[in-house]
């Protein structure tokens, strides 16, 4: 598919570090315009980023995505200043070192990695429909593939916390489940959505606590590829051979069956309820 350069616009959440930064740099290098929805700044010593900011090919909107007030303000700003989005990468997330909760009172992985991608997708639908590709890629994970049980009722307030295999894996699974469930309805409107695992990547940042178990950190540093690897898999998920397949989950760019699909409708209903009853009413009483 040939796209005019003026139409090549991607919105990337978490675009300023790790896989998101690698994806941003790749797409800027190919002539895309990038809308970055981020919490903190880009690296200051990156010539490509500096040039793109100067030329407005890279446009920044800042918010703590887990704070509904900040998120709503940023999304309203995007609507005010942008005309279309061809690709939406719901990429922001992370593995946190301990049990934490969002401003709204839900477990932080769940808010950021399951609920917020749904909110962003729904809020930006008009801009996506104005685009040409009309595609949404949700960054998931293969961390849940070995899980033997899954309880959707525990997502908001888990009884216990485990690094990587606990709330992180559960909420990535929940993300892929609602993605597969909502895909037919979005496809009927003209939007293709799917989820993809970017694989193992060395995204460890010095001096920053994370939810990666201590025994795994040296393995990641020694053997895992740079974030360009994960960025490439997300890029292929958007534009590669599966680009017209709605709802699928990709591992290594291969369609992979999801587990616990009997919970898909419950997960979707839960995020829809949060979106309708909480997010859409933010600021309405002021």
Q: Which domains does the chain have, with CATH numbers?
A: 5-200+227-281 (3.40.50.720)
For residue 95, the model assigns a pLDDT of 84
pTM: 0.92
The 3-state secondary structure of the chain, one letter per residue: CCCCHHHCEEEEECCCCHHHHHHHHHHHHCCCEEEEEECCCCCCCCHHHHHHHHHCCEEEEECCCCCHHHHHHHHHHHHHHCCCCCEEEECCCCCCCCCCECCCCCEHHHHHHHHHHHHHHHHCHHHHHHCCCCEEEEECCCCCCCCCCCCHHHCCCCCCCCCCCCHHHHHHHHHHHHHHHHHHHHHHHCCEEEEEECCCCCCCCCCCCCCCCCCCHHHHHHHCCCHHHHHHHHHHHHHCCCCCCCCCEEECCEECCCCCHHHHHHHHHHHHHHHHHCHHHCCCCC
| pLDDT given at position 1 | 40
What would the pLDDT profile of 120-156 be if each residue is shown by its tens digit? 999 999 999 999 999 999 999 999 998 999 999 999 9
Question: How high is the pLDDT of residue 4?
Answer: 45
- Which residue stretches of the chain have pLDDT < 70? 1-7, 201-225, 285-286
pLDDT at 206: 54
Q: Residue 213 has what pLDDT? A: 58
């Amino acid at each position: 598919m040939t796209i005019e350069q003026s139409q090549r616009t991607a919105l990337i959440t978490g675009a300023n570090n790790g896989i998101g930064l690698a994806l941003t740099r790749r797409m800027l290098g190919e002539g895309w315009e990038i809308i970055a929805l981020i919490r903190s700044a880009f690296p200051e010593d990156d010539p490509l980023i500096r040039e793109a900011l100067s030329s407005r090919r890279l446009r920044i909107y800042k918010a703590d995505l887990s704070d509904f007030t900040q998120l709503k303000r940023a999304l309203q700003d995007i609507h005010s200043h942008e005309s279309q989005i061809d690709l939406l990468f719901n990429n922001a997330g992370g593995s946190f070192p301990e049990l934490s909760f969002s401003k709204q009172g839900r477990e932080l992985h769940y808010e950021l990695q399951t609920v917020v991608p749904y909110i962003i997708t729904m809020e930006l639908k008009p801009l996506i429909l104005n685009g040409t590709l009309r595609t949404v890629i949700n960054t998931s994970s293969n961390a849940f593939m070995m899980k033997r049980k899954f309880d959707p009722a525990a997502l908001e307030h888990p009884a216990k916390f485990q690094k990587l295999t606990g709330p992180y894996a559960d909420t990535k699974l929940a993300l892929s489940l609602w993605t597969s469930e909502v895909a037919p309805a979005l496809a009927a409107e003209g939007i293709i959505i799917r989820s993809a695992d970017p694989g193992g990547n060395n995204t460890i940042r010095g001096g920053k606590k994370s939810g990666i178990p201590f025994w795994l950190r040296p393995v990641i540093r020694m053997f895992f590829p740079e974030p360009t690897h994960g960025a490439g898999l997300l890029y292929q998920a958007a534009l590669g051979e599966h680009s017209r397949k709605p709802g699928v989950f990709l591992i290594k760019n291969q369609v992979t069956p999801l587990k616990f699909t009997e919970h898909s409708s419950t997960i979707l209903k839960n995020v829809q309820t949060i979106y309708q009853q909480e997010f859409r009413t933010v600021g309405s009483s002021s």
